[in-house]
Amino acid sequence: MTGASVPTSVSDVLRHNWGWLLVLGLVQIVLGATAICVPMIGTVASALFVGWLFLVAGVAQVVHAFQGRGAKGFFLHLLSGLLYLAAGAMIVLYPMGGALTLTVFLAAFLLVEGGVRMWLGLHLRPGEGWGWVLVSGVLGVFAGAMIWSELPSSAVWALGTLVGINFLFSGVSLVSLALRARNV
């Protein structure tokens, strides 16, 4: 194999694989649109994903605990792994209960993080871009307050809608990138 046939730069890799980027982008657009139109599907899928991550982390933690069984902290590592396993199992078995918990955390995160961005925006004033930071903080607080005020019913739509929006924007950006790479 010659050096000329192997893509070496990012633009070469993108140009060589633009078709795969296009397919990935289109799949993300379809998944995003589905999650936005039927947010419960996106919410349940998100909760199940987190549940399975907890299960995998729990197994890894338990294995790690038993590998260091003679070391100090064995029972704490084992307990931590068992807690991960229990939380993961509960989320996988009862995904809407897990979605409610994740939605509460999401709302709290948006409220706190939005407040911090508002504070930061005001402290960056009169520097360049301070207004954008402030506006993004206000939007974060607004989104968090909206989700919080609608609990528990927001657990049905919030995660799915936000994941759908993320997938939709990611898909559109990948399709745009693929089409641009194809034409380069």
- Decide if 4 is inside a domain: no
Q: Provide the 8-state DSSP code for 5.
A: G
Q: Are 96 and 52 in contact (CB under 8 A)?
A: no
Residues 6+ apart with CB under 8 A from 43: 96, 99, 155, 156, 157, 158, 159, 160, 163
Give the global pTM.
0.73
Q: Are 85 and 58 in contact (CB under 8 A)?
A: yes
- Decide if 10 is inside a domain: no
pLDDT value of residue 60? 96
Q: How confident is the model at residue 39 (pLDDT cuts 50, 70, 90)?
A: very high
Higher pLDDT, 47 or 12: 47
45-69 CB burial, b ≥16 within 10 A, e <16: bbbeebbeebbebbeebbeebeeee
Q: How many structural domains are present in the chain?
A: 1
Q: Is the pLDDT confidence value at 8 over 90?
A: no
pLDDT value of residue 128? 85
pLDDT value of residue 70? 79
- Decide if 173 is inside a domain: yes
- Decide if 11 is inside a domain: no
Q: Is the pLDDT confidence value at 2 over 90?
A: no
Q: Which domain holds residue 140?
A: 21-183
pLDDT value of residue 184? 72
Longest dimension (CA), the chain: 62
What's the rounded mean pLDDT across residues 53-71?
92
- Decide if 2 is inside a domain: no
159-172 CB burial, b ≥16 within 10 A, e <16: bbbbbbeebbebbe
- Decide if 9 is inside a domain: no
- Decide if 15 is inside a domain: no
Q: How confident is the model at residue 177 (pLDDT cuts 50, 70, 90)?
A: confident
- Decide if 132 is inside a domain: yes
DSSP string for 89-146: HHHHHSHHHHHHHHHHHHHHHHHHHHHHHHHHHHHHTTSTTHHHHHHHHHHHHHHHHH
Residues 6+ apart with CB under 8 A from 172: 25, 29
pLDDT value of residue 181? 83
